[in-house]
Amino acid sequence: MPKLQQDSERISHGANLLISILVRYPEIGTVNYDADTGTINLTFMLSGTPAAAELAAIEERLLASIDAYHSLEGIKDGSAEVWCSTCDQVAMLTLRRDVGTLSRGEIALVIALLHEGLQDRLIADENDAILEEDLLVQEEVIGTMLESMKQDHNGNGLIGIREDGRVLVFNK
């Protein structure tokens, strides 16, 4: 695996974005940035395996809400995909968005919708040590890094994961 170069501003912006998203939103299990397609995948873990009809309703609601958000914000040509996969007693809900039109407000909307629709099924990393001021700083970093990544789609793919209360980012 190639090493992450500290002097590469592009990798640094991408790594900071993934770290900030995972720190700010403990409901997100993994973040995967694909530099070739300019997309980001946000994966959420669900306890148990919801029925197919329940998953379809959640997917439909997320896509409709994202479309409504885009309409209100005047965003055109935004792409969004949602799918779910299951493994034993865990389901993984993945949202794929293009980085060019993604915003921190949209991420917050998705989190709120999942909390409302999935209630106690959504698995979140518990971290009581994070202060409200730290969360606000992370939101600002997310906004800044998203804007930076919108300017330059070149770079390497990255994957950020949550493991034992830590956030790890790897170069793909």
In a domain, 131, yes or no: yes
Q: What is the model's pLDDT at position 49?
A: 85
Q: Which pLDDT score, from 0 to 100, does residue 86 have?
A: 85
Q: What is the mean pLDDT of residues 110-129?
A: 84
The answer as to whether 28 is a domain residue is yes
Per-residue pLDDT of 46-105, as tens digits, reads: 998 888 888 899 999 999 999 999 999 999 888 899 999 888 888 999 999 999 999 999
Q: Is residue 88 part of a domain?
A: yes
* Predicted TM-score of the model (pTM): 0.87
Cβ atoms of 115 and 122 closer than 8 Å: yes
User: Is position 3 within any domain?
Assistant: no
pLDDT above 70: residue 33 = yes
Assess contact for 82 and 114: CB atoms under 8 A: no
pLDDT tens column, 133-166:
677 788 888 888 888 887 766 667 899 998 877 8
Encoded tokens for 6 = 């500290």
Range(s) of the domain holding residue 43 = 9-171
Domain count, the chain: 1
DSSP, residue by residue, 16-71: HHHHHHHHH-TTEEEEEEETTTTEEEEEEEEES---HHHHHHHHHHHHHHHHHHHH
